Amino acid sequence: MNIEINKDFLTEYKDEFWKGFSAKEVFTIVAAGAVAAGVVIFLNVKFGVRPSEAVYAAIPFTIPILLAGFYKYQGYMPFKKLLEEISYSRKCRELHFESRDNEMTGKRRFRIGEEKKERRKKCLS
């Protein structure tokens, strides 16, 4: 018995702008081509490098642009959101937590805050 299930529209069917590419992907390709052309022209005019050789030097400049437009982390995260997630995780590197070090007194300590105070004292002295 074979039951057909509808496909997920967000992943299976892209918004086509031109020849199967979305508008964002077309803009990314055009931007990467413009940067590559700029690098080739610069190397040709400034240093006299032949265009057939300068194309290879332009590849490292175009790869980050293409990755920014096409790469999706786990299939859903665009590059801008990925940078926001990295920034957020760097800001929240030290997480505060509560612990009971001395069960006899039952005194609560906030460990990270006390460690920061100890480090500041060491730095000032």
* Model confidence pLDDT, tens digit, residues 81-110: 777 877 877 776 665 555 555 555 555 555
pLDDT value of residue 86 = 79
User: Does pTM surpass 0.85?
Assistant: no
Write the burial class of residue 114 (CB in 10 Å: 0-12 exposed, 13-18 middle, 19+ buried): exposed
Same-domain check for residues 109 and 70: no
pLDDT value of residue 85 = 77
Total domain count, the chain: 2
Same-domain check for residues 65 and 120: no
Same-domain check for residues 55 and 101: no
Same-domain check for residues 14 and 67: yes
Stretches in the chain below the pLDDT threshold 50 = none
pLDDT value of residue 90 = 75
How would you label 24-62 residue by residue, b for 16+ Cβ within 10 Å and e otherwise?
A: ebeebbeebeebbeebbeebeeeeebeeeebbeebeeeb
Give the structural domain span for 54: 9-76
